[in-house]
Chains A and B, each alone.
Chain A
């Protein structure tokens, strides 16, 4: 055995620093934050917030220059780390979502009055993991970036040390998350044993389309590991408790960025690693998608706490994002399914962050998470109520908003598969989008028709950072629906879908 290690040839890899620039900038920003936090006085800690947000914006610059350069797909480290259109779109999404989360957290964290430096450190570390995830094309780098994004997220969920709810949220998230990644690792170890490679492309080539029981088990375990991350039913039990117990900006972060990262990993693994094994994962995604939509929507109907309702709503939205994957292996559907998933992720990120921005703004006045506390919002905060209506309509899928376009793309790719299973799933999805009106509508009813609960109609104080966050998410939600061409331009994702041969 030692001889294999001793004989292994090692040569320094050629590193394309331009391709790695977003990660390097983020890494530098993280170190800077830690050092600043260590050396500056408590009274000056406010400076950490701009440092965090400028780091994210600075990391966004190389993403832009990379997407404008003509170099095509940049493949690093023997094809284990790839910067292509797919990963650039998602890196941009993660960085912008991270920026909005920083805007949402700024006042929240400063008022909480403790551990500012660590908070930004954890948020940025988690984002670095997500940015790495978008490029990872190897089992080891996928595993490392998954843990890199999850471990800080566990700590963020348990952020309020002395609050037992936050505690409970953190522990539930941690135990299920670690359990899921352990199961995923077992699947990965089997994959490595079968194919003798950790590189997804090699695994895909070796697995081909013939399936033995052990291969099916390996593929299934990996898929189930990621199903926890995207909180697909029946692996969703952590999500409502974690979302409710965690601080609200952290909930926004988890429900958008962390979930998107899970989908990115799932899509990469399925598209590059298991393109031929569609007979194993298609039925799994079909069942997961149908269950996730239905259970998420039905449970959301009976919630009274708005954050918990949004937790179930975000589970249900996950079901819609899974829909195209249930047919992704059919002839000629792979690319449109991938485009539908990416489009939906972009729209969902913009809309859901917007909803959380409104919730954070309103709860600063009402100090309550109950849906009934939104009564009469329109009478004293018409701007917030209008924006909330916009976001809710987008989540429900009303044209011409972004959410409508996302759903349209998902249904389109389902129907283009032209088989009965796809039609059946499309019908389940259709019924569910109608059910979803029930709970989105109940918030609208509170805001527009009900009286103000305590007759306290003093205006809601909104900080400038929240206004910027609302402006970004609101205009993104509108633009993605009115001008879907922007997303279609991003949709040139043939590189990843290439494994399906078209």
Chain B
């Protein structure tokens, strides 16, 4: 059982995702980075579930996938609204309110 390799893959994906959320200015790219983090969570859960021999991790991963789909639905709708109102999806332009 190659637990370490799975965990390293999960950690790398997590780091790429966090970097993307912080560094990217494009709303859709940020959404994709968040998906990367969620998938790193799924990889972790499945690897642990296999090692521990319990199904809790599989169940958890299924819930994460379902909820992530709902979240992205809302997120893309908001990005679409933003595009309609401003003709741009750059997050650095969201600065109407400050201080």
Proximity string of chain A (297-316) to chain B, C-beta cutoff 8 Å, 1 when within and 0 when not: 00100110000100000000
Contact A147 B99 (CB under 8 A): no
Q: Which residues of A contact B10 (CB under 8 A)?
A: 189
Contact A167 B52 (CB under 8 A): no
A183 closest partner in B (C-beta): B37
A150 closest partner in B (C-beta): B71
A176-221 residues with Cβ-Cβ distance < 8 A to B are: 178-179, 182-183, 185-186, 188-190, 192-193, 196-198
B8 an interface residue at 8 Å Cβ cutoff?
Answer: no
- B37 contact from A174, A182, A190, Cβ within 8 A: A182
Q: Which residues of B contact A164 (CB under 8 A)?
A: 85-86, 96
B14 closest partner in A (C-beta): A186
CB contacts between A and B, total, < 8 Å: 127
* Total A residues in contact with B, Cβ cutoff 8 Å: 47
Q: How far is the CA of A308 from the CA of B96 in the complex (A)?
A: 13
Contact A4 B53 (CB under 8 A): yes
Q: Which residues of B contact A196 (CB under 8 A)?
A: 48, 52, 54, 56
Proximity string of chain A (135-149) to chain B, C-beta cutoff 8 Å, 1 when within and 0 when not: 000011001100100
The answer to whether residues A151 and B53 also contact, given A171-B79, A185-B41, A186-B40 and a CB cut-off of 8 A, is no
Contact A170 B78 (CB under 8 A): yes
Contact B96 A168 (CB under 8 A): yes
A3 closest partner in B (C-beta): B53
B23 an interface residue at 8 Å Cβ cutoff?
Answer: no
Q: Which residues of B contact A155 (CB under 8 A)?
A: 74
Q: Which residues of A contact B85 (CB under 8 A)?
A: 162, 164, 167
Contact B97 A165 (CB under 8 A): yes
A5 an interface residue at 8 Å Cβ cutoff?
Answer: yes
Contact A175 B30 (CB under 8 A): yes
Tell me the smallest distance from the CB of B43 to a CB of chain A, in Å: 9
Contact A151 B21 (CB under 8 A): no
A4 closest partner in B (C-beta): B53
Contact A192 B60 (CB under 8 A): yes
Contact B96 A147 (CB under 8 A): no
B79 closest partner in A (C-beta): A171
**In the complex, which of the residues B14, B59, B78, B79 has the most CB atoms of chain A within 10 Å of its own CB atom?**
B78
Q: How far is the CA of A4 from the CA of B79 in the complex (A)?
A: 42
A37 an interface residue at 8 Å Cβ cutoff?
Answer: no
Q: Which residues of B contact A8 (CB under 8 A)?
A: 55
A439 an interface residue at 8 Å Cβ cutoff?
Answer: no
A474 an interface residue at 8 Å Cβ cutoff?
Answer: no
Q: Which residues of A contact B57 (CB under 8 A)?
A: 189, 192-193
A245 an interface residue at 8 Å Cβ cutoff?
Answer: yes
Contact A143 B63 (CB under 8 A): yes
Q: Which residues of B contact A241 (CB under 8 A)?
A: 97
Tell me the smallest distance from the CB of B66 to a CB of chain A, in Å: 9
Contact A143 B97 (CB under 8 A): no
B14-58 residues with Cβ-Cβ distance < 8 A to A are: 14, 17-18, 21, 27, 30, 34, 37-38, 40-41, 44-45, 47-58
Q: How far is the CA of A154 from the CA of B78 in the complex (A)?
A: 9
A244 an interface residue at 8 Å Cβ cutoff?
Answer: yes
Contact A167 B78 (CB under 8 A): yes
Contact B54 A182 (CB under 8 A): no
Contact A171 B37 (CB under 8 A): no
Q: How far is the CA of A411 from the CA of B10 in the complex (A)?
A: 43
Contact A140 B60 (CB under 8 A): yes
A189 closest partner in B (C-beta): B44
- B94 contact from A140, A171, A178, A190, Cβ within 8 A: A171
Q: How far is the CA of A8 from the CA of B86 in the complex (A)?
A: 53
B9 an interface residue at 8 Å Cβ cutoff?
Answer: no
The answer to whether residues A167 and B82 also contact, given A182-B34, A196-B54, A303-B99 and a CB cut-off of 8 A, is yes
Q: How far is the CA of A351 from the CA of B41 in the complex (A)?
A: 39
B2 an interface residue at 8 Å Cβ cutoff?
Answer: no
Tell me the smallest distance from the CB of B31 to a CB of chain A, in Å: 8
8 residue pairs from A and B, CB less than 8 Å apart: A168-B96, A171-B82, A182-B37, A183-B37, A185-B41, A186-B14, A189-B41, A241-B97
Query: 15 more A-B contacts (CB under 8 A) besides A143-B63, A165-B97, A189-B57?
Result: A140-B63, A147-B70, A154-B74, A158-B78, A162-B85, A165-B96, A167-B82, A167-B86, A168-B82, A179-B34, A186-B37, A188-B41, A192-B49, A193-B44, A193-B52
Pairs A-B, 5 closest by C-beta atoms: A193-B48, A189-B44, A182-B37, A196-B52, A185-B41
